[in-house]
Amino acid sequence: MNRTTTGNKAAGRLALPAIAAAVTFLVYLPSVRYGFVSFDDLRYVPGNPAIRHIDLAFIKLILTTVMASNWHPLTIFSYALDYAMWGAAPLGYHLENIVWHAVNTALVFVLTVRLFGVKGSPDAKTIFAGLTAALLFGLHPTHVESVSWISERKDVLSGFFFILSILAYLKYAAPSAGKKLLYYFASLSAFVLAVMSKPMAITLPVALLILDFYPLERFKDGVVKILTEKVPFLAVSLLTAALTLWAQSYGGAIKTFGTFPIDKRLFLSVRAPVFYLYKTVFPLKLSPIYLPPAKTSLAGFEFIASLAIVVAVTVFCLLAAKRNKIYLASWLFFLATLLPVIGIIQVGDQAAADRYTYLPGLGPFILVAAGAGAIFGRLSKGTGRTIAAACLVVVSGVLSLRTVSQEAIWKDSVTLWTHVIKTEGEIPLAYNSRGLVYQDLGEHKEAIADFNRAIELDPRYAFPYNNRGYSYQRMKDYGQAAKDYDRAIELDPGIASPYNNRGLLRYELGDYNNAVADFKKAIELDTKLLHAYVNMALAHTELGRFPEALKSYNDGLSLSPTEPDIYLNRGFLYLTLGAFGKAASDFESSIRFGQDDPSAYWGLGLASLKLGDTAKAEANIRKAAGMGSKEAKEFLEGSDSVHK
C-alpha cells in the first residue's frame, strides 16, 4: 500500500468523527433561539453577579463557595467566560453547550475505535462501530436535557474531561506506549477537571478498573499494581464526594431519612437502572421531572419486577463473560457511573432525570455499537454494507427528529412546565412552578389560577399558598395575601419564605416592628435566605435603627459577597450616616458587580460630591440622569453643574 492510499484512509477516519459532530451540532442548533428557563438558569447566569468579573477574587469565590447547592468551580468559570463574550444573552450559553456536546460526540467515536482496536489497527467493522456509538451518543433524545438546558453545562463539560481522561489512560495502559508517566498525569489531570465540572464524575476510577478488566485485560499482570495506580484517582474521588456532600447539605438539597425513608430509597435504587434502560430503548414521554410513584412498596410488582430484571441481566452478563466480557463490562460501567444518582443519597424530590444518563449511557451505546460493528464486518463489501449504512442513517434520522422535538420544550419556562404537566400528569409541583413563572412575568391572574390548581390537587401543599399570597400582594389585595401567608405558615411552620413574604407585606403597610419580627423568624429558619437580611435592614432603617441595619447588610454580604443590591442599599445608608467614603466604595461595588441601576450612579455622584471630587460627581450624576433617574434630572435642572 502506498503512502497516498494510507493518507486517504487516515483522512477518511478523521472525517467520520467530524461528520458525527457536525450532524449533532446541526440537530441541536435550534436551541440557540431559546432563552433562560426558571429551572435553575436564573441562579447560574442572569441572577448570578459573581460571573460578571473574572479576577483573583472571583477565582477564590468559585473555589470556596457553594452555588446552587453544588461545588463545580470549572462550570461557573465557563459561565463567566460566556458572560465576558455574550453578556446575559442566552444565545451564547446555548451555543457553547452545543459545541461541547458536538466535541464529545467526536470523542466517543475516537474512544470506541480505541477500545475495539486495542489489540491492533482499527478495521472497517471497528470504524463502523465508532460511528454508530458516536451518532447514538450525539443524537439520543435523553441527552437533550444535558445540552438544551443551560444549567446542565456541567454535564457536557464534565463529559469532555471524563472521556479525555479515559483516552489518556488507554494510552498509558498500552503495552508498547512510551511516555507512560505523561499519559498517567494527563489522565489524572483531566479527571480533576471533570469533577470540578460535575461531581458525578467521581466514578471514573471504577470505570478505569472496568477497562482494566475488559478490553485491556490487565489484571493478569498483577492486581496490586493496578489498584496502586488508582490510589490518586480514588483520593480525588473521596475528596470530591466529601465536598459535594458538604455543598448539598449546606444548600439543603439532601433529603434526610426522616423525610425520605430507607425503603423508598431502596425502591428507587433498584428501579433506576431499569427505568433508564427503558428510556434509552424507548425515549418517549421524556420529562425534566420524574417524581417517585405514589406507592413505593418493596412488596409491590414494580419493585419485584425491577429487581428481577437487574438480577437477570447481571446473571446473563456473568455467564456470557466466559465467551465475551463486553456484556459484563458494559453493564458494570452503566451501573457504576449511575451510582452517585441512583437514589441511596437522595437529592431533591425527583426519582430520576434524563441528564443522569449522559455518561452512563456510553455503556449501552458502545455495546450496541459493538454488535453493529460485528454485523457490518460479516457483510460483504458493496450491497450488504450499503444497507447497513442506510440503516444507521435511518436510525440517526429517527433519533434526530425525536431530539429536535424534545429540544422545543426548553424554549421558555411556560413551555417547559406545561410539558411536565402533559407528560407527568397534573402534579402540584408543576402547577406551582408554572405559577411562579407567570408571577415573574407579572401575569398574576394566570399565576393565581395555577396556584389554585396546585392547592386543589394537594390542599396541604404550603408553597402555592405562599406564592399565591405574593401575587395577591402585588395586586394590592393585602387581606387575601395575609390569609395565604398565614395558611402557608400553619401548614409548614418550618419553611422561611412565608415569613419573609409576610414581613414584606407588613413593611409595605408600614408595620415595621412586626416586619422585623417576621424577617428574624425567616432567618432563624433559613440562615442563607439572602433577601430576608436585606429586607430586615430596610425595616431597621425605617425605624432609625442604623447599627442593626448595617449588621443585617453585613450578614447578607457574608453570604453573598458579590450581591449588588446590598452594596447599593448599604451605600445609601452610609450616605445617611455621613460615611461618604464607605458610601462611594459601596456604590462602586454595586456597579462593578453588575447593578444596571441609575440609583447606583446617582448615589456615587452624591458621595463623590460630598468628598469634593466634583468631576467624578458630575460624570456619575449625568450618567444617572441619562439612565432615567428622576432625582439626578431634578438636581441637574436646579444647577448648571455640580460645581455650584
Residue pLDDT, tens place only, 68-92: 778 899 999 999 999 999 998 999 9
Q: Is residue 281 part of a domain?
A: yes
Mean per-residue pLDDT, 565-578: 95
* C-alpha to C-alpha distance for 309 and 336, rounded to whole angstroms: 17
pLDDT at residue 138 is higher than 80: yes
Mean per-residue pLDDT, 457-468: 96
Q: Domain ends where: 361, 380, 410?
A: 410
Q: Is residue 431 part of a domain?
A: no
pLDDT at position 425: 86
108-122, 134-148, 293-307, 458-472: which range is least confident on average?
108-122
Q: Is residue 180 part of a domain?
A: yes
Q: Looking at residue 496, what DSSP letter applies? A: S
pLDDT at position 118: 60
Q: What is the CATH number of the domain that holds 596?
A: 1.25.40.10
Of 27 and 117, more confident:
27
pLDDT at residue 493 is higher than 90: yes
Q: Is residue 465 part of a domain?
A: no
Check: CB of residue 566 under 8 Å from CB of residue 585.
no
- 587 is in which domain, residue-wise? 562-644
pLDDT at position 120: 59
* C-alpha to C-alpha distance for 354 and 544, rounded to whole angstroms: 52
Cross-strand pairs, 352: 290
- pLDDT tier at 569, thresholds 50, 70, 90: very high
Q: Domain ends where: 376, 410, 444?
A: 410
pLDDT at residue 255 is higher than 70: no
Q: Is residue 208 part of a domain?
A: yes
Phi-psi domain of 252 (left: phi exceeds 0; alpha: psi -120 through 50; beta: other): left
Interior/surface letters 335-352, b for 16+ CB within 10 angstroms, e for the rest: bbbbbbbbbebbbeebbb
Mean per-residue pLDDT, 585-601: 88
* C-alpha to C-alpha distance for 427 and 422, rounded to whole angstroms: 10
Q: What percent of the chain has pLDDT over 70?
A: 93
Global pTM?
0.89
* C-alpha to C-alpha distance for 512 and 515, rounded to whole angstroms: 5
pLDDT at position 273: 95
* C-alpha to C-alpha distance for 467 and 52, rounded to whole angstroms: 30
pLDDT at position 640: 53
Residue 584: closest CA among 598, 564, 600, 562: 600
CA distances from 241 to 125, 201, 234, 235, 244 (A): 39, 10, 10, 10, 5
Mean per-residue pLDDT, 634-644: 66
* C-alpha to C-alpha distance for 463 and 435, rounded to whole angstroms: 11
pLDDT at residue 3 is higher than 90: no
66-75, 213-222, 337-346: which range is least confident on average?
337-346
Q: Which residues contact 406 (CB under 8 A, 6 or more apart)?
A: 141, 144, 148, 283, 286
Check: CB of residue 222 under 8 Å from CB of residue 337.
no
pLDDT at position 65: 82
Mean per-residue pLDDT, 245-263: 68
- pLDDT tens by residue, 29-62: 999 999 999 888 988 998 888 888 898 988 998 9
pLDDT at residue 257 is higher than 60: no
Q: Is residue 455 part of a domain?
A: no
Check: CB of residue 231 under 8 Å from CB of residue 225.
no
Half-sphere exposure of residue 421, counting CA atoms within 13 Å on the CB side? Answer: 19
Q: Where does 198-325 have alpha helices with state H?
A: 204-213, 223-228, 231-250, 262-281, 301-320
Q: Mean pLDDT of all residues in the chain?
A: 91
Q: Is residue 467 part of a domain?
A: no
Long-range Cβ contacts of 217-224 (<8 Å, 24+ apart):
218/173
* C-alpha to C-alpha distance for 437 and 415, rounded to whole angstroms: 10
Q: Looking at residue 288, what DSSP letter applies? A: S
What does the longest C-alpha to C-alpha distance in the chain come to?
93
pLDDT at residue 9 is higher than 60: no
* C-alpha to C-alpha distance for 269 and 143, rounded to whole angstroms: 21
- pLDDT tier at 110, thresholds 50, 70, 90: very high
pLDDT at residue 621 is higher than 70: yes
Check: CB of residue 550 under 8 Å from CB of residue 570.
yes
Residue 312, classed as helix, strand or coil, is helix
* C-alpha to C-alpha distance for 143 and 186, rounded to whole angstroms: 27
* C-alpha to C-alpha distance for 135 and 141, rounded to whole angstroms: 11
- pLDDT tens by residue, 543-562: 999 999 999 999 999 988 88
Q: How many helices (H) and strands (E) does the chain have?
A: 31, 0
- pLDDT tens by residue, 353-403: 999 999 999 999 999 999 999 999 888 788 889 999 999 999 999 999 999
* C-alpha to C-alpha distance for 138 and 16, rounded to whole angstroms: 13
Q: What is the 3-state secondary structure (H, E, C) of 17-46?
A: HHHHHHHHHHHHHHHHHCCCCCCCHHHHCC
CA angle 388, 392, 398 (to 5 degrees): 140
How many other C-beta atoms lie within 10 A of the C-beta of residue 592?
16
* C-alpha to C-alpha distance for 239 and 22, rounded to whole angstroms: 37
Q: Is residue 435 part of a domain?
A: no
**Number of compact structural domains in the chain:** 2
Phi, psi of 290 (to 5 degrees): -120, 105
pLDDT at residue 644 is higher than 50: no
84-98, 114-128, 405-419: which range is least confident on average?
114-128
Cross-strand pairs, 67: 70
pLDDT at residue 310 is higher than 60: yes
Phi, psi of 611 (to 5 degrees): -85, -5
42-51, 303-312, 521-530: which range is least confident on average?
42-51
Grid cell digits, residue 398: 429517527
Q: What is the DSSP string of 319-373?
A: HHTTT-THHHHHHHHHHHHHGGGSSSS-BSS-SB-GGGGTTTTHHHHHHHHHHHH
Q: Domain ends where: 410, 444, 459?
A: 410
Q: Which residues contact 42 (CB under 8 A, 6 or more apart)?
A: 36
Q: Looking at residue 639, what DSSP letter applies? A: S
134-148, 161-175, 288-302, 567-581: which range is least confident on average?
288-302
Residue 174, classed as helix, strand or coil, is coil
